Each structure stands twice: as structure tokens, then as C-alpha cells.
Amino acid sequence: MPGQLCQTSVIVLIRRAMESLQTRPLQASRPAAALSGEISVPGDKSISHRALMFAALAVGETRITGLLEGEDVLRTAAAMAALGAEIRREGADWLVAGRGIGGLIAPSDVLDMGNSGTAARLLCGILASHDVYAVMTGDASLRKRPMRRVIAPLSACGARFTARPGGLLPLTIEGARDALPITYTLPVASAQVKSAILLAGLNARGVTEVTEPEPTRDHSENMLRHFGAAVSISQQGRGRVIRLAGQPELRAADVAVPGDPSSAAFPLVAALLVPGSRVTINAVGLNPLRTGLFETLREMGAELTIRNPRVQGGESIGDIVVEHTALAAVDVPPERAPSMIDEYPILAVACAVARGTSRLRGLGELRVKESDRLAATTAMLRAGGVAVAVEGDDLIIDGMAAPPGGGLVETHMDHRLAMSALVFGQMTKAAMRIDDSTFIDTSFPGFVACMRRLGAAISGV
Ligand code: S3P
């Protein structure tokens, strides 16, 4: 039946996860021995959201393998089910029977996107060009994040949004009955904003055009083509112009989700930091618009080897072998930010133990992530005794061989802060504590078990 979830209900999964929502402090300390072993990390979060959304807009049944079963993505699954897609789990795979472009139904309840900015913003794009009324909200972190960046451009297609003052969730969306195509130049480098506009363009008559001054992750473009849409991309200076022909017939197309490079970053940096370590991380996505961290770590002297490079479902993947290396400080240019935007907290940890002073430039966008990551990363390093400063949008870190540690890190409902602090604690003289580890499940369920399997020292407090 449309709108209903068969078999393993996503709603049940989310409810179970919510029930267990209570603060879970943890502590991380130097492990007794080097980290070693072979692991894989959960599916890519960006690709998982998009796979569910595009499959729900396609005609036919899409099989998704390797979907990230983290809270953020389960929110997207629940939302697409509320809009009429049939979604079920079969073994480890997820099956989505789509309703076709224009075929989504109005949700009968509020869409709660939890902690996920990607889910909220991309869904605004879908709803903008569907003739439905919807109300959207999120958790305390998401309700602080700017939605004007999608509301402004999406309004041009004829959709009406009413948000809380400041352009914040909760918001209502009245989708356009006959959506106009949008032409828009991104004022900030944001794959979420680009994707929201392209998703709206799917149900608009005519050509939707997005210009991005800096290239951002292109999973939406790749997946649109994979599902049968006509997308053209041309270079413009350092950036790109993306054109999408509206109202294509999207056809169901199976998706194999690669391991998330943003999740791989945590065990990878841990292995770099702990002397004697050697770790292999299998089947990690290596889309060049996501690998800025690997490039930066190599500049710092890291030994990273890619084995078995291959292409899976239109995305490059490979196995990464990483060995402990003494790192040197780095100066990261601002134009690299889009390709490693989620990796700055863990890069900051690497810089904290690198020889010399690092400067990470152009990090303004970090202020509007799951937390103010510029402030929270600074506070994390200071809690471990590392000298760090913010100058404008730059983060400056004085590396030291053995930071004293011993501090408590406030994670502000931010999964990447929590994981970064737990990796940091593998190198500090005294243990590092975090106030709450629950949000790790939004992107990396099983993180602590995975790190412990490699030999990391993480325990309850
Ligand atoms: C994402 C884009 C990035 C990133 C987020 C995922 C996406 O956000 O930080 O975790 O899937 O499109 P911005 O578009 O705000 O840079």
C-alpha cells in the first residue's frame, strides 16, 4: 500500500533509536599497542540520502546495497515513505518502489528530519515542485541551521515557504502546482543547495541551471544520470554550470553505496597517529570531490596507499592502506574546503600532533554545520592542551608531539566532533572525555566497536 513501510519498518527503527537517546559519555586513552586490522566503514551518507530520494522519484523498484543505516538516512527513508514511496528492507538491501516524478503524496504528519541538514535541504527541493503541503522540523541542532539558503532559490519555482524568524525550522512548504525551472548561482559552495535546486528542477518544465563557483560533491549529478535524466556539466573558471532538462522519466536503477570517505577519515587518522599502526579500510568512496583530506594528509607526509581502484555504480572506490607516519604541519588553501568540508575536525586532530604550525583557511561554512564546528574544534583542541587560534575564517594550530590531554569535550549534538575527540584521545598523555557519544549513530553506527577492533582504547566513564 502506498505510503506504508513493509517488513522492517523504518519508523520502528527510528523509534527504537530515539528511545535509547540519552547522554552516553565516553573516554579515550592511549592504546597499549599499535592499531592494526582490516575494516570497512558504513555506506556513504550523501549517496545514501540521494539513493532513497531518487529511487522514490523513479518508476519501478530500486535495490540499494550498502545503504548507511544511520539515523540521518533513516529519517530520509521515513520521509520518502510518508510521501508515498514503498520502502522495505530485504536482508542487508533496501528496496524502494518509487512513485515517479510528480507522483508524491502529501504527508499526513510533520516530517521530522532529526539531525540531518542534507535530508532537510534536499527534501525542500523535492517538495518545492510537488503540489503538496508539508511541515518540516528537526532536532535542536537542525533547528538552529540556516534554511534560507534553500528557501530563497526554491521560492523562484513558485513554492511558498514559511519559516521561523531567521529562516529556521520548523517550516511549512506549499509546493508549486506548475513549477518553473530555476537559474541560480550559488553564493556559498554547497552541494546541498545545488542538489535541492536540481531536485526541484526534476518536476519543472524546462531547463534548470545551477552555477557553482567552486566544484562541490557531484553525487546528485551522477545519480541523476544513473536514473536516466539528461544532465550537462560545463566548466566555468574553477567552477561548473550544471543543466538539467526537466520532467525526465526517472527509471529505477540499482545503487551500490560505497564506504563513506568522511567516516573512513576517523580510523585512518587514528592509524596515522598511533606509532606502529597499519590499517586497511576496504571499499572506500574516492570521488575526487570528496578526497581533499587524503590530499592534505599526503602533503603532511602521510603514507596512504590505494589498492584495487575500481568504479562501482558510477563512483570511484578503492581500499586504503594507512601506516603510522610522523606528520608535518600544513597550510590548506580555502578552495580545497568543499572537497573536505566535513573533515576539518579530524584534520585539526592530525595537525595538533604534527610538527609545526598549521593553518586551515577559509572555514566560514564550518560555523553552520551540526554545531559551530570552528568554535567546537577549537574548544576540543584546547581541552587537550593544544594552542589554537581562529583568525577570521582560518584555524591556526600549533602542533606538539604529545598533547597533555585530560580534558572534557562538549560535542554539541555533533557526530564528527565526538569521533574526532575519541581519535584525539588515542594520542594525548592523559585520557580525553566526551560528554555524549549518541550522535555518532547519525553517520557511523558501530564506530566505537570498529575502533576497538583495531585496538583503540575507548571506554565508558
Ligand atoms: C552534503 C554536503 C555538505 C556536507 C554534508 C553533506 C551533501 O554540506 O557538509 O555533510 O550530502 O550534499 P553543504 O552543502 O552545506 O556544504
Per-residue burial over 274-290, b = 16 or more CB atoms within 10 Å of its CB, e = otherwise: beebebbbbbbbbbeeb
Please give the distance, rounded to the nearest whole angstrom, from the Cα atom of residue 176 to the centre of ligand 1: 25
Tally of residues, the chain: 461
Tell me the per-residue pLDDT of 321-351, one tens digit each, with 9 for 90 and over.
999 999 999 999 999 999 999 999 999 999 9
pTM of the model as a whole:
0.95
pLDDT at 22: 82
The closest residue, in CA terms, to atom 11 on ligand 1 is 46
Residue 223 cell numbers, joined: 545519480
The closest residue, in CA terms, to atom 16 on ligand 1 is 190
State the first-to-last Cα distance of the chain, in angstroms, to the nearest integer.
Answer: 47
From the alpha carbon of 342, which atom of ligand 1 is closest?
9
* Closest to 96 (Cα-Cα) out of 86, 107, 105: 86
Show which residues are catalytic. Answer: 342
From the alpha carbon of 220, which atom of ligand 1 is closest?
12
d(Cα 3, Cα 105) in Å, to the nearest integer? 8
pLDDT at 7: 54
d(Cα 81, Cα 52) in Å, to the nearest integer? 10
The CA distances from residue 132 to 17, 49, 155, 178, 362, in Å, are 29, 21, 14, 12, 39
Ligand 1 pocket at CB < 6 A? 46, 118, 190-192, 195, 217, 341-342, 365
With a cut of 70, which residues of the chain have pLDDT below it?
Answer: 1-21
Residue 367 has φ and ψ, to the nearest 5°, of -70, -20
Of 192, 194, 217, 220, the one to substitute when testing ligand 1's pocket (max ligand atoms within 8 A of C-beta) is 192
Contact 40/256 with Cβ under 8 angstroms?
Answer: no
Q: Where are the alpha helices (DSSP H) in 300-393?
A: 344-352, 373-383
Tell me the per-residue pLDDT of 160-171, one tens digit each, with 9 for 90 and over.
999 999 999 999
d(Cα 393, Cα 341) in Å, to the nearest integer? 13
pLDDT at 15: 58
pLDDT at 5: 60
d(Cα 71, Cα 62) in Å, to the nearest integer? 21
Residue 360 cell numbers, joined: 586551515
From the alpha carbon of 191, which atom of ligand 1 is closest?
14
Q: At what angle do helices 373-383 and 415-424 cross, to 10 degrees?
A: 20
